[in-house]
Amino acid sequence: MDKIDLLEQTTLAFDFVQRLYLEVSYFIKEVEGLLREGDPPFIILRPSGYMVSARSSNGLDPFSVNLWLVRKLAVAFGPEESTTVIKGQTYTKIQPGTRIIYLRIILSDKEIRKPTVYWGVLYDFYKKNPPDKWPKKIEQLLQHFEYRESKFFSKPGADNFEDAYVRFKGTLRSTPLYEINSSEMLNDKIVQPVLEFFRKIENKGS
């Protein structure tokens, strides 16, 4: 490959990745809008602002270089009535009655053939540390999940999750990302099914 081809391929590669990230951000915001109109209305959880949770690195060893690009990311949504917003952050208690809608997007991974959205409900949270110790809110767990993904997400179909800090249950399903090509399809394939999961879990707990 000559120098001109290399420059062109570099530009095309970064343009493609940037467009992909923008499309994913639009996807998340559309889910946010649909859930905002749900019953009950949901809001996006903000660990330290309006952002996704992802594992990344600036390190120079081969494993860290693999994390220079964000390949996996997640967001969560909680019922507006059970989430407090303070200075751009949300605070959701870690307790058995807490239920959140969880959305994790895998853009690239050796274990999957195509970009995939994992979606579902996490609930029955139990914190193992004392009240004054980390983690102090659900939002702090979102980043923790990304760094401990092999612990939490290595078994497809698992419905019980646990590590040294927290224990919880979950119902997760998957949909190929590129199969969602309209608002109607997003609503039919992800939003309405995840709301149905949420209501079933709520009814079990009542």
Domain of 95 in residue numbering reads as 3-205
The answer to whether 118 and 172 have CB atoms below 8 angstroms apart is: yes
pTM value is: 0.93
Residue 123 tokens read as 């609930």
User: How many domains is the chain partitioned into structurally?
Assistant: 1
pLDDT, position 206:
41
Chain-wide mean pLDDT for the chain? 93
pLDDT (tens digit per residue) in 180-194: 999 999 999 999 999
The neighbouring-strand residues paired with 90 are 85
**Bridge pairing between strands 72-79 and 53-54:** antiparallel
pLDDT (tens digit per residue) in 2-38: 787 999 999 999 999 999 999 999 999 999 999 999 8
pLDDT, position 201:
87
pLDDT, position 137:
96
End-to-end CA distance of the chain: 65
Residue 2 tokens read as 């000559």
pLDDT, position 126:
95
Low-confidence ranges of the chain (pLDDT < 50): 206
The answer to whether 62 and 134 have CB atoms below 8 angstroms apart is: no
